[in-house]
Structure 1
Amino acid sequence: MTTHIAADSCTMLGRNIRHSLRSPDSMVMTIALPITILLLFVYVFGGALRGDGHYLEYVVPGILLLTSGFGAATTAITVSTDLHNGIVDRFRTLAIARSAWLTGHVAASLLRNLLSTAVVVGVALAIGFRPTADPLRWLAVVALLSLFITALSWTAATLGLLAPNPEAAQGFTFSFMFLPYVSSAFVPPDTMPTWLRGFARHQPVTPMIETMRALLTGGPIADHAWTALAWWVPITVVGATAALLMFARRIRE
């Protein structure tokens, strides 16, 4: 049974990857926007935000999560599009695992976003980013990004199942793109107004960014890492459970 589900999920993964290759404009946008934001903050705002010449090292971890958030949010749109194009009804008539359609979307999101994040890392290195991480720390960064992307992709899949149409699904994912801005991604929370500082420190994106920053450029890891895991592991479980239960309910209707 497990082998059957895995094989069907791989088939759906291949389908979604082919769709991505046939629509390169969405992939280009997912990469181009974070790169534009990176260049904007480094070359336009960097001197004012942090004039010691080290702002690039500070901002890159936040841009990496922003890239992942942009890409994972598109899962809501692809899920909603499939539902409203009727392809899911066709899949129901085939001898495939019902969960494979969703897991294929999430797996494709993970691969797409790891690729787009790697491109952003390449651009950051080209403009002077010099991380101190060894190979083990880089593996930890990839693992954290994979957890973050998977959590957001499952959550986005749930929103795609809830949305009445793909346009609404796109609107539902606004929070994915908003949260990194109100975190430690671009400036330390201590520089924010008092009423905003507490939220910026304790929302789920900040410990993930701080852990990646410590892994890439040095610094204490443990406290932020445990907090990040305490946020994002439950978010993944809740998102996946909600998406699978909601999909099961939709196909029974």
Structure 2
Amino acid sequence: MKSKSTVMVRRNLKHIARNPTTVFNAVLMPIVVMLMFVYVFGDAFSVGVDYVDYATPGLLLLAVCYGLGSVAVSVNSDATKGIINRFKVMDVPRSAVLTGHVVASVLTNLLAVAALIGVAFLLGFSPSAGFLDWLGVIGLVVLLSFAAGWLTIAMGLSAKSPETAGLASLPLVMLPFFSSAISPTDKMGPGVRQFAEYQPFTPIIETLRGLLNGAPAAGDVIPALAWCVGIALVGYLWANSTFTKRA
């Protein structure tokens, strides 16, 4: 089981590395967004601290989301082109096929997050996080990547074609812009503010922000973990159910 899962992970990583568009969307696009917001729009926001310090936690979440489109397309292509059925004939277990996509997605996200943090430091990012806080940041990023990966795979398998699968992850890409990622929620208008406060990404971003400031708040940490676990569970059950029907 382990060897087959490893083969699936290696296969998906090779596909990602051979696709320049995928690499750009997953790794370089979050950096472009960071440069745009910090240098172009940063002075327009009054957040009480250097804007790069405020925006970096939200941009870490964006870095996770930007690579999801290629994951949905990849898993849908496997299903629509009959590759999954070939794996089934070769006695490759369902868990290995789906886990391969999830693990490859998590590893790609970690690379994107590492690159983004490196650029943030070059732009003057100065977190107060200690060693344990940084471990918390990494752990939450991995958990979020894991949850978003399963949900994206489920949406990709549910799409009718690779083209529509590429649009399946669009809500996950857009949702951070309606959270506290770019601007504090208390500066938003009525309606949008309430949505931003209660949607799943805001407590995750605030938890990352608290960890990087060295002062995470339980009121953010508990909802953030609950959302990640809930999304992962829904995505896992949905993906496995859809995989069984398509295969």
Number of residue pairs matched by the alignment: 247
Give 1:106's match in structure 2, choosing from 102, 105, 117: 102
Tell me by how many angstroms 1:29 deviates. Answer: 2.7
Tell me by how many angstroms 1:50 deviates. Answer: 2.2
Task: Please tell me whether residue 132 in structure 1 is matched to residue 128 in structure 2.
Answer: yes
Any runs of at least 4 consecutive aligned residues in structure 1 with deviations exceeding 3 A, and if so which? Answer: none
Partner AA of 1:166 in structure 2? P
Q: Distance in 2 between matches of 1:218 and 1:98?
A: 41
Q: Distance in 1 between matches of 2:40 and 2:46?
A: 11
Q: Distance in 1 between matches of 2:238 and 2:73?
A: 17
Contact 1:77/1:170 (CA < 8 Å) preserved in 2? yes
Residue 138 of structure 2 corresponds to: 142
Residue 93 of structure 2 corresponds to: 97
Tell me by how many angstroms 1:52 deviates. Answer: 5.2
Q: Distance in 2 between matches of 1:201 and 1:109?
A: 27
Residue 195 of structure 1 corresponds to: 191
Residue 233 of structure 2 corresponds to: 237
Query: In the TM superposition, what whole-angstrom CA distance separates every residue of 1:215-241 from its partner, at most 9, and x where no partner exists?
Result: 012334211000101111011011111
Query: In the TM superposition, what whole-angstrom CA distance separates every residue of 1:122-158 from its partner, at most 9, and x where no partner exists?
Result: 1111111011111211111011011111111111111
Residue 211 of structure 2 corresponds to: 215
Residue 19 of structure 1 corresponds to: 15
1:53/1:223 Cα in 2 relative to 1: closer, same or farther (>3 Å)? closer
Residue 49 of structure 1 corresponds to: 45
Secondary structure of 1:194's aligned partner: coil
Where do 5+ consecutive residues of structure 1 fail to align? none
Alpha-carbon RMSD:
1.4
TM-score, with structure 2 as normaliser? 0.96
Contact 1:64/1:120 (CA < 8 Å) preserved in 2? yes
Alignment of 1:131-170 (within 5 A): 131-170=127-166
Alignment of 1:27-106 (within 5 A): 27-50=23-46, 54-106=50-102
Partner AA of 1:234 in structure 2? G
TM-score, with structure 1 as normaliser? 0.93
Secondary structure of 2:129's aligned partner: coil
Moved more, 181-190 or 52-61: 52-61
Aligned-residue sequence identity (percent) comes to: 42
Give 1:121's match in structure 2, choosing from 99, 117, 122: 117
Query: In the TM superposition, what whole-angstrom CA distance separates every residue of 1:18-55 from its partner, at most 9, and x where no partner exists?
Result: 11222233112322221111111111111121275511
